[in-house]
Structure 1
Amino acid sequence: MTPTRLRRWLGPLAGAVVLALLVWRFGAEVFLDGVRRLDPASVAFALVVGFVTTVAAAWRWTVVAQGIGLRVPLRGAVTAYYRSQLVNVTVPGGVVGDVERAVRHGRGSGELAVSARSVGWERFGGQAVQLALTALILLAVPSAFRVVAEWGAVVLVALAVLVGLTVAATATFGQGRLTRPLRIAVTDLRVGLISRRALPRVLLASAVVVAGHAAVIVVATRTTGVDVPLATLVPLALVVLAGSAVPANIAGWGPREGVAAWAFAATGVGATAGVTAAAAYGALVLVAALPGAVVLVVQAIHGRQGAPGAPAVRERATADA
């Protein structure tokens, strides 16, 4: 096996190991119980919230793409995002759908490299805002995760300082040929994420996405019979959501349930309840992504193989940060 192929399978393999350990420790019945406890109300809630979060995330993509010089129509972005989410929750790895979204749009627009960068920065921005919001809320609300939040805040601040120093150094010394990729990355960051135009939109869209997914975790937890105050449940939901972002998984399964087991045990609710709630959430995530199947069927019928929506227009934006 080549090193590239080995790296490709390391993430899913790690997720499979975590999932196997959880099944060995708690039994498969705990997972099945989480799925069985779902009701029509929770499924409908997941579908509605899933639509809102998908539109918000797709809008974030259009904002970032426009910042670095690509036009991605919102309607096409929404359908592409639904498709990528369905792939992410059905294929090992958790990021295959995003790669497909970047490649599909890039081939249709003729700007594969820029399309890949737009998707990468959009996902990076979303994850950064999610982690920052999680740290802020965990620091503000008394919970068992305060120490973790304090260390997380330190790491985030250190990363922000490192990024700032990198931007400054690139602007001052980044004239050599070897620094070209770094200069491109810094330019993308300035015009695609932290410009005066992009930053408020990225923050708003990401906050909507985080709030929506956290709400679905709360509903999933309530549906499985966990009755704790919201002051306890919201920090739990944010921690589980952070665990869901780990790309080493089997179609979303593995680290999410492991983090949920630890988090629920840390708050005294119980590790078993955490695994059951995470399994219910995983099922709701799959339900919320099912409109992506409709997108695939419609595109197959109409034979759409190009980029979503109108072809992208290449127009390098100027930084207004």
Structure 2
Amino acid sequence: MTRGVAISRTFWMWTRLLGGAAILVALVWRQGTGPFLDGLRLTTPAALLAALVVTAATTLCCAWRWSLIAGRLDVGVPVRTAFAAYYRSQLLNATLPAGVLGDVHRGVRHGRETGALGRGLRSVVWDRAAGQAVQAVLALGAVAFLAPALRTPVVLVAVVGLVVLVVAWVVLPRRPRLVLADDVRRLAPLWPRLVLGSAVAAAGHAVVFVVAARTAGVTVPLSQVAPLALVVLLVSAVPVSIAGWGMREGAAAWVFGAVGLGAAQGVTVSVVYGVMALVATLPGAVLPVPRGDGAPAPRLEDAAHG
């Protein structure tokens, strides 16, 4: 790793951490500690059990999606191995500062075990990208059910995100662009299954958020809570947080405040969801991740594609 790359990574890591911390400090300054303490107090064993059950199902969907992608990139991983590895990555994401280190660990570990570090990492990148793309589409579909105060900002964020992706593709050097284009060609036959797995996983995360909202005392109809859940979860995927905390609470405060439910209520719901999500990843601490059952190391003539 060159000195410039190391400095860049360190800069972005601290930017994400400080950004998440700044959001939390701003929320405490504006709302006080009450909403945070209420979230911890209101979380119930029943809610935690629900999160464990639903997260097991969403993790299986995500593991299946990753297994499909890895197989097409010639770094196959069995679903049972992917399931355990996915649980571990979620636990690391929920406990380590940057909120994405679990996925980095998953990609590096799988890449080294299969002898193709580049493709192992890209399998995880495509896995997360597929999930986020479907979640973004679902969130945009929920715009019709949102209050007018939220529709324009959500659409604006979507447009900005699309522009950023286009610009990133244009400025990307030719060789990485060719590699990604080849990946897209390989993965194209999978898109119906990737969409299905991602949609079920996104729905599962939304269900956990709805349970958190009900646990926190939100009584508005499901038709109003579910769209809010999709928007909050999409915004919280932005890696500006401390182990997942920060952006999610800020998004919940904004969304709940905009629809008249109160920013403080949004923070409380987000805290309940955060505790539920953390407990739901604990199986990652005990599930063993099998070694040595991935795809064999690539042939020498394939190395250039890895």
TM interval, shorter chain, is 0.7 to 0.9
Q: Give the structure 2 partner of residue 206 of structure 1.
A: 198
Contact 1:121 1:189 survives alignment (8 Å): no
Question: What is the rounded CA distance, in whole Å, between the counterparts of 1:40 and 1:55 in structure 2?
Answer: 23
Matched, 1:224 2:224: no
User: What is the CA–CA distance in structure 2 between the aligned matches of 1:215 and 1:257, rounded to whole Å?
Assistant: 18
> How far 1:142 moved relative to its partner?
4.5
**Structure 1 residue 285 and structure 2 residue 277: aligned?**
yes
Q: Which moved more, 1:246-255 or 1:17-26?
A: 17-26
Q: 1:179: Cα distance to partner?
A: 2.0
Structural mapping, 1:38-77, within 5 Å: 38-77=43-82
> Aligned equivalents of 2:273 and 2:253: distance in 1?
13
**Does the CA-based 8 Å contact 2:115-2:297 persist in structure 1?**
no
Whole-Å separation in 2 of the counterparts to 1:107 and 1:52: 28
Aligned partners of 1:310 and 1:245: how far apart in 2? 28
Moved more, 208-217 or 237-246: 237-246
2:240 aligned partner: 248
* Alignment correspondent of 1:238: 230
Gaps of 5+ in 1: 171-177, 317-321
Residue 246 (structure 1) shift: 1.2
- Whole-Å Cα distance in 2 between the matches of residues 58 and 188 of structure 1? 19
The number of equivalent residue pairs is: 292
Give the 3-state SS of the residue equivalent to 1:89 in structure 2: helix
Alignment match of 1:20 (pick from 25, 48, 51): 25
Distance in 2 (CA, whole Å) between partners of 1:16 and 1:252 is 11
Deviation at 1:158, TM superposition (A): 6.0
Deviation at 1:24, TM superposition (A): 2.1
| Aligned residues of 2:75 and 2:111 also touching (Cα < 8 A) | no
Structure 2 counterpart of 1:11, from 16, 32, 40: 16
1:47-126, aligned counterparts within 5 Å?
A: 47-126=52-131
Deviation at 1:236, TM superposition (A): 1.1
User: Equivalent of 2:261, from 269, 284, 292?
Assistant: 269
Answer yes or no: is the 8 Å Cα contact 1:143–1:232 preserved in 2.
no
- Please state how far the C-alpha of 1:156 moved relative to its aligned partner: 6.7
Q: How does 1:88-167 map to 2 (within 5 A)?
A: 88-139=93-144, 141-144=145-148, 145-152=150-157, 154=159, 162=166
Please say if residues 88 and 284 of structure 2, whose CA atoms lie closer than 8 Å, have aligned partners that are also in contact: yes
Identity score, percent:
47
Tell me how far apart the structure 2 counterparts of residues 143 and 190 of structure 1 sit (CA, whole Å): 39
Distance 2:186 2:213 in 1: 39
Q: Superposed, which structure 2 residues align to 1:165-176 within 5 Å?
A: none
For residues 90 and 146 of structure 2, the distance between their equivalents in structure 1, rounded to whole angstroms, comes to 33
Provide the TM-score with structure 1 as the length reference.
0.84
Quick one: distance in 1 between partners of 2:211 and 2:285? 24
For structure 2, which runs of at least 5 residues remain unmatched after alignment? 1-5
Q: CA RMSD in A?
A: 2.4
Q: By how many angstroms is 1:60 displaced?
A: 0.8
1:83-111 deviation line (CA, Å, top 9, x unaligned): 00000000111110000001111111111
| C-alpha distance in 1 between matches for 2:196 and 2:157 | 22
1:179 aligns with 2:171: no
- Paired with 1:29 and 1:159, the residues of 2 have a C-alpha distance of 37
- What is the Cα deviation at residue 66 of structure 1? 1.5
TM-score relative to the length of structure 2: 0.88
- Kept in 2, the 8 Å contact 1:131–1:242? The answer is yes
Q: 1:312 to 1:26 in 2, by over 3 A?
A: farther
> How far 1:251 moved relative to its partner?
0.6
